[in-house]
Structure 1
Amino acid sequence: MEGEHNTEFQQWLAAQGDDTRAKLDALPTLKSWQQALQKVSAATVVYRNQRHVGGRLFFIRQAAQGNGTLMVRELDGSERVLLDPATLKGDSGHASITVFKPSPDGSKVAVNIDHGGNEITRVEVLDVKSGKPTGDAVEPVWGEFPVQWLPDGSGFTYTQLAPPEQRTGGDPLQDMRSRFHPLGKLSTQDPILLRAGTGQGANPSFAIPANHFPVIEFSTDSRWVLGEALSAQAEQRYCVALRSDAVKPDATWHCIADDNDEVQEAAIHGDTLYLVSSRGRSNGELLALDLSRPNASIKDARSILPLQDDEIVVGVSLNDTQMVAPARDALYVKVSKNGIDDIRRIDYASGKVETVPMPLSGAASLFHADDNEDGFLLELRSWTTPPKSWRYEPTTRALHSLNQDEASPADYSMIEATEAELISKDGTHVPFTILHRKDAALDGSHRAIVFGYGSYGLSIVPSFKPARLEWVKQGNIFAYAHVRGGGEKGEAWHQDGKGPNKHKGVEDFVAGVARLSELGYSRPERTALISGSAGGLLIGGAVTGYPDHFGAAVFLVSILNPVRLMQAPNGANQIGEMGDPRKASDFPWILAMDPYQQIHPHTAYPAVMLDVGLNDSRVAPWETGKFTARLRAADISGRPVWIRTDANGGHGIQKSLGAEAAEYADIFAFLDAKLPGR
């Protein structure tokens, strides 16, 4: 089944999807779930990726069926469309915007457009005033990498995929290069500034492994430029160069932080490099390094933010949520405690630390500052209330609404979140969030879902998900197990569920099923597990290791065969998190965490549905195919093992609200049919 151009497998997978579609359509509760979830998706409008630049607010507006429209709000409050991907010719409505980046003065914006659902994008520059393309465009660029503008807006750097013939093992995510594009020039002439791997463009002063991603970031108010070698692991490598040299292919880079320094984020203001590291403190500390010192080293960095023992400043930072955010007026830092976020303001000149008063208790789904603007943008959300967003203005020391607060598409006042703990197999206490109706009887009668992830140090934080709340509204339970491998308790929590410790996260996940039973919410036979992507190792480990501990499992675009990591696109990128199967030291525990390899013959497995996007470039669909075929051959229970396919879908990063509603309608109808009710 392996390989990227395996016609026989692709035909088999498509046939599997057709067969599952017919079975799902015959389920008795599917239509009612479709109606309920389509209704809430149709009433939902999501605002994301807000950026305030040059007096303008740029943002993505996403309604029920669209993949998101790029909008701009002018200083007078008027709003207009800059780019609706649904209007692009030849895309049949499947194009989407993955990220965008306004120029420092807000006059232009570079937009990453995914035309194929595979996250491989073309970056086009738009003139903001006219809304028309300037003619500047670069490709192919992985969808999560926005361009990095020069401070004067005359050009930008971008991280480009290597030509197919130069990719190690044919993997599109290896051997990337950072290039410089001056506006108005042909992109084919753009010089290579940094290159992952070896060959033309590699810089001996900043050697980058082939499975890392080179990124060059500019700071408006600094003579220094930040070079980054990023990968799918918490710790990253950071180097600096003078701005005057950085746009030259032969620039001399001075490397400050390597993987063993455990730096998870970095930023520059003036001559100061800010670093967030977990090396000296598991929950992280904020360091400042004076780059004007000769031969500046991370050993010279000093801690500048006092923290309480349970306050956390580390964790995987997504595109909209920085940990350390230099604004023009001050440095802002996100600090988490028990899943709730605060923002600290550090004055550049005095070093004085202040806590910005929060308008409500919640988790930040947006925290972003630009170094040529004062203040920051913030969005907070909870489990049962929609997100609200603000702009902080330091002159008034106040948060002002962006007037983009999401309205709840339905009444969920009957639902509450209970913060509890589960006790894992080794006695570890694990945070456990349970969403339930306030009037839920504790008699074990409810169907339940336990959701987990447990990879990369990524925390599951409060989020408002109407599709999931509809499940709870109907009298069911939706619980989140904050398993080891995530970042809920700092970097130590991540390490405790990573690599050779992956089994601990699996044990945490399965213990969530027992905990719901102990508390009276459900029973194991009425409980399903859901996870996906790197969480495939979590749910795959649960299915193969504890098949009789729960009633069903739903896999979402899952990694299921890490022993074959190097044969999959994006596989080499995962080595930092999952280990290297080519190494004798790593192979035993990779084998132990490999769900495909741990399927046992003549075993009764629970009901299983596996969701896969046929255009997925992050996780190869053949991992789902192999796992499914082997599980069916080994199973003696007679329960279903179905593959649900999305012909136009990828990894689901930019899934439309309508597509999400359709997916969860299928999931809920499947669980209604396969889990016993009251």
Structure 2
Amino acid sequence: MSRNNLSAPLALAALMMIPTAAQATDAAGTAAPAPALAYPVTERGNTVDPQFGVDVADPYRWLEDDVRVNPKVAAWVAEQNKVTDAYLATLPGRDAFRKRMTELYNYERFGLPTKAGTRYFYTRNDGLQPQAVLYVREGLKGEGRILIDPNTWAKDGATALGEWNPSEDGKHLLYSVQDGGTDWRIVRVKDVATGQDTSDEIRWVKFSSLDWAKDGSGFYYSRFPQPAEGAAFQSLNENHAVYFHKLGTPQSADTLIHATPDKPKLNHAAVVTDDGKYLLVVSSEGTDERFGLTLHPVKGGKPVVLVDDYANNWEYVTNEGSRFTFVTNKGAPRQRIVSFDIKKPATLTEVVGESEATLVGASRVGNRIILSYLGDAKSEARMVALDGKPIANIKLADIGSATGFGGKSADPETFYSFASYATPTTIYRLDTVTGKSEIFAQPKLTFDPRQFSVEQRFFKSKDGTEVPMFVVMKKGLDRSKGSPTLLYGYGGFNLSQVPGFSPTKLAWVDKGGILAVANIRGGGEYGKAWHDAGRLDKKQNVFDDFIAAGEYLIAEGITGKGQLAIEGGSNGGLLVGAVTNQRPDLFAAALPAVGVMDMLRFDRFTAGRYWVDDYGYPSKEGDFRTLLAYSPYHNIHGGKAYPAVLVTTADTDDRVVPGHSFKYTAELQHADVGAKPHLIRIETRAGHGSGKPTDKIIAEAADKYAFAAKWTGLSVK
């Protein structure tokens, strides 16, 4: 894992008044009279923080406490879930969505294979298993056998297989365990031949790459110091360090390879070079792609600092002796490939120049380099020689996203996946010598992807910037009138929103809704400039783009007033919260998930400190005033009719701690913002999203989309 992605309570006698009739809207958005929901009573404190001459009220500060530690918070969560569950049970489309999502999820799914020695390792889910199972084959055509089945680890299916990596010879498998959705990992080693775990176990690993020494004697990993008792899910993550673990030894004997105690905010990821002679440590302070590079000779010797200005992206591709090749945005906002000799790292030689498409990754496979691009947010792939000379474009199936292309310098074989909004992932095997692709694994489907259409539209934002958007609908849909539409966005951290298959979102489309995905600024669709235009003091552009997307959908007749729901998670949850405050009239329903809602305190918990690259520092006056202007928690103002809001979060989210969503919901329920429901759904034993079992994914999505259907007028049968 090279960088940290965003996208992580007074036992009161609450008066519970469960509604017998829910408020409804017609297609024009007219609210029918109905009793307002009675929310649990939430204690309001009198906390006020004076900041730069502004008295910032924070009446729900107590809701920041860990639900596992503070019984008041636990009681509040229980009371909120009771009201929410009762309301969701009244929604007519809930069971229909759950049934259809279950059907759409029930297909065989494969992960990208990794070759090690003569063995192939890959994940497979037979359809509705809570977690994917790791298999191994002896040879490409061998029979797959189960190596790790995480479904046996916990009765609720919430303990997941995290990162995994086989040793070079395929004799051992390094893997991590993720419990209840947390970012913390427990790392173990399995003997592949016997299927038995060795005695090796590593704890307090987070945001770490896992890479083997070439001789298989041990592996490199990154960890934080053990947190104080009871603080594991909220304390700041600092003093990341790289260690080497020799097989068969206790963790206490691990060798410290790289640490920066004078710079405790730096994170470090370690990668063993192709030739096995070096360990490359990639360091960064935040989420922005601004890295430092330190090269450690594996057989001992003084480390060499290659890059220490923390100004640009550097992604290792390969090396031939002392000449190293990287993807970088230095001198190329849409990225290029360069090489340099480690004795003269400042002298760059261009291997592949910047393109109109955005270069998003490169990997060496045999004597080829495969380049992955985004052209208007759609995947493209090209193959070049080691010197950058073009060889061929790799033909992809359609509008969609291709991922993978990993490999080794000694092997011309690679694998990649392709998926689109209506087409589940197919895995391909590519021979880089012949250039031929063949299917490795293709799912058998219970639906026909040809029933759905995918269009790419472009709309203009407030400042005239042209922004792309994908629109997905069922063919034959009556387009003479607007249709209930779900608009999804993210807009941050250089993360691109590319076409991909989601059974839950396809269920919305299958039931007659329209899905729109806006590629707003702040993402990486058009490189560094696109990202920079949506962060720090430019963050309002993100909200303007998303609002303009909604206005475009209405103006084009794709949807109508009162038919538009919005959704986003993590940084996208912030997006939904901010635009709901700014344009409550535009949306019928809002679905903010695991959102960053308090922009003045986000940097005080777990991974929050990394996000200053995108958000700025609340402790600096200029950034403070920018953040205060759009912070969802601080900008809920009474006197306006808000859309129906269903907030979702989880008790084990240690990426965006759930206190963000708790405080936002409490303020939303307190304010005079209309009679539509403003609820929160709090999942147990789940985190920021990864590792969530299939049944919980379906249950949550069915609740959210039934809620959106209710308030956009989508009739679900």
The answer for the alignment partner of 1:201 in structure 2 is none
C-alpha distance in structure 2 between counterparts of 1:655 and 1:532, whole Å: 14
SS at match of 1:570: helix
The answer to whether the Cα contact below 8 Å between 2:313 and 2:328 also exists between their aligned partners in 1 is yes
The answer for the alignment partner of 2:598 in structure 1 is 561
1:576-615 equivalences in 2 (<5 Å): 576-615=613-652
The correspondence for 1:96, drawn from 134, 139, 160, is 160
The correspondence for 1:441, drawn from 478, 486, 490, is 478
The answer for the alignment partner of 2:324 in structure 1 is 273
The answer for the alignment partner of 1:71 in structure 2 is 135
**Deviation of the 1:663 alpha carbon:** 1.6
Letter in 1 for 2:65: G
Cα 1:533/1:359, change in 2 over 3 Å = closer
Which deviates more from structure 2 when the two are superposed, residues 654-663 or residues 624-633?
Answer: 654-663
The answer to whether the Cα contact below 8 Å between 2:200 and 2:247 also exists between their aligned partners in 1 is yes
Letter in 1 for 2:113: Q
C-alpha distance in structure 2 between counterparts of 1:439 and 1:580, whole Å: 50
**Deviation of the 1:677 alpha carbon:** 4.8
SS at match of 2:379: strand
C-alpha distance in structure 1 between counterparts of 2:168 and 2:649, whole Å: 39
The answer for the alignment partner of 2:222 in structure 1 is 159
**Deviation of the 1:659 alpha carbon:** 2.2
| TM value normalised by structure 1 | 0.91
C-alpha distance in structure 1 between counterparts of 2:633 and 2:156, whole Å: 36
The correspondence for 1:254, drawn from 305, 314, 318, is 305
The answer for the alignment partner of 2:528 in structure 1 is 491
Task: Please provide the CA RMSD for this pair.
Answer: 2.2
Point out which structure has higher relative CO (alpha carbons under 8 A, 6+ apart).
2
Cα 1:266/1:591, change in 2 over 3 Å = farther
The correspondence for 2:152, drawn from 70, 87, 96, is 87
The correspondence for 1:303, drawn from 350, 354, 369, is 350
1:555-586 C-alpha deviation (Å, 9 max, x unpaired): 11111112102322211121222211122232
The answer for the alignment partner of 1:283 in structure 2 is 334
C-alpha distance in structure 1 between counterparts of 2:238 and 2:248, whole Å: 29
The answer for the alignment partner of 2:169 in structure 1 is 105
Cα 1:518/1:170, change in 2 over 3 Å = closer
1:647-667 C-alpha deviation (Å, 9 max, x unpaired): 121111223333222122111
The correspondence for 2:297, drawn from 238, 243, 249, is 243
C-alpha distance in structure 2 between counterparts of 1:162 and 1:412, whole Å: 49
**Deviation of the 1:406 alpha carbon:** 2.6
Structure 1 residue 2 corresponds to structure 2 residue 64:
yes
Letter in 2 for 1:77: G
Cα 1:273/1:168, change in 2 over 3 Å = farther
1:129-166 C-alpha deviation (Å, 9 max, x unpaired): 11111221211212x53411111111111111212149
SS at match of 2:331: coil
1:306-385 equivalences in 2 (<5 Å): 306-308=353-355, 310-314=356-360, 323-348=361-386, 350-361=387-398, 362-385=400-423
**Deviation of the 1:173 alpha carbon:** 2.6
C-alpha distance in structure 1 between counterparts of 2:314 and 2:695, whole Å: 35
1:607-646 equivalences in 2 (<5 Å): 607-646=644-683
Cα 1:415/1:20, change in 2 over 3 Å = same
Structure 2: which 5+ residue stretches go unaligned? 1-62
Cα 1:130/1:356, change in 2 over 3 Å = farther
Letter in 1 for 2:82: D
The answer for the alignment partner of 1:319 in structure 2 is none
| TM value normalised by structure 2 | 0.86
The answer for the alignment partner of 1:206 in structure 2 is none
Which deviates more from structure 2 when the two are superposed, residues 439-448 or residues 621-630?
Answer: 439-448
Letter in 2 for 1:110: L
**Deviation of the 1:345 alpha carbon:** 2.8
Structure 1: which 5+ residue stretches go unaligned? 199-208, 315-322
The answer for the alignment partner of 1:28 in structure 2 is 92
C-alpha distance in structure 2 between counterparts of 1:300 and 1:527, whole Å: 53
C-alpha distance in structure 2 between counterparts of 1:268 and 1:186, whole Å: 32
Letter in 1 for 2:433: T
C-alpha distance in structure 1 between counterparts of 2:319 and 2:305, whole Å: 17
**Deviation of the 1:411 alpha carbon:** 2.6
**Deviation of the 1:101 alpha carbon:** 0.8
The answer to whether the Cα contact below 8 Å between 1:99 and 1:145 also exists between their aligned partners in 2 is no
C-alpha distance in structure 2 between counterparts of 1:676 and 1:283, whole Å: 42
Structure 1 residue 57 corresponds to structure 2 residue 120:
yes
Cα 1:375/1:352, change in 2 over 3 Å = farther
1:605-653 C-alpha deviation (Å, 9 max, x unpaired): 1110001111111011110011011112223311111111111211112
Which deviates more from structure 2 when the two are superposed, residues 452-461 or residues 650-659?
Answer: 650-659
The correspondence for 1:426, drawn from 460, 463, 485, is 463
**Deviation of the 1:591 alpha carbon:** 1.8
C-alpha distance in structure 2 between counterparts of 1:444 and 1:603, whole Å: 28
The answer to whether the Cα contact below 8 Å between 2:236 and 2:605 also exists between their aligned partners in 1 is no
Cα 1:196/1:608, change in 2 over 3 Å = farther
C-alpha distance in structure 1 between counterparts of 2:252 and 2:100, whole Å: 50
The correspondence for 1:216, drawn from 261, 265, 270, is 270
C-alpha distance in structure 2 between counterparts of 1:496 and 1:622, whole Å: 29
Letter in 1 for 2:226: P
Identical positions, percent: 26
Letter in 1 for 2:195: G
Cα 1:495/1:470, change in 2 over 3 Å = same
Cα 1:168/1:577, change in 2 over 3 Å = farther
SS at match of 1:439: coil
Report the number of matched residues: 646
1:448-485 C-alpha deviation (Å, 9 max, x unpaired): 10000011111111111222112112211110011000
Which deviates more from structure 2 when the two are superposed, residues 366-375 or residues 571-580?
Answer: 366-375
C-alpha distance in structure 1 between counterparts of 2:714 and 2:507, whole Å: 17
Letter in 2 for 1:390: Y
Cα 1:278/1:31, change in 2 over 3 Å = same
C-alpha distance in structure 2 between counterparts of 1:46 and 1:145, whole Å: 26
C-alpha distance in structure 2 between counterparts of 1:120 and 1:409, whole Å: 36
Which deviates more from structure 2 when the two are superposed, residues 57-66 or residues 123-132?
Answer: 57-66
Structure 1 residue 393 corresponds to structure 2 residue 431:
yes
SS at match of 2:635: coil
Cα 1:406/1:173, change in 2 over 3 Å = farther
C-alpha distance in structure 1 between counterparts of 2:528 and 2:98, whole Å: 40
The correspondence for 2:705, drawn from 662, 668, 675, is 668
Letter in 1 for 2:298: S
C-alpha distance in structure 2 between counterparts of 1:638 and 1:420, whole Å: 35
SS at match of 2:601: helix
Letter in 2 for 1:586: D
Structure 1 residue 178 corresponds to structure 2 residue 242:
yes
The answer to whether the Cα contact below 8 Å between 1:596 and 1:626 also exists between their aligned partners in 2 is yes
Letter in 1 for 2:584: P
1:407-446 C-alpha deviation (Å, 9 max, x unpaired): 3332342210111012211111110111112222233331
**Deviation of the 1:257 alpha carbon:** 5.2
Cα 1:576/1:245, change in 2 over 3 Å = farther
Letter in 2 for 1:311: A
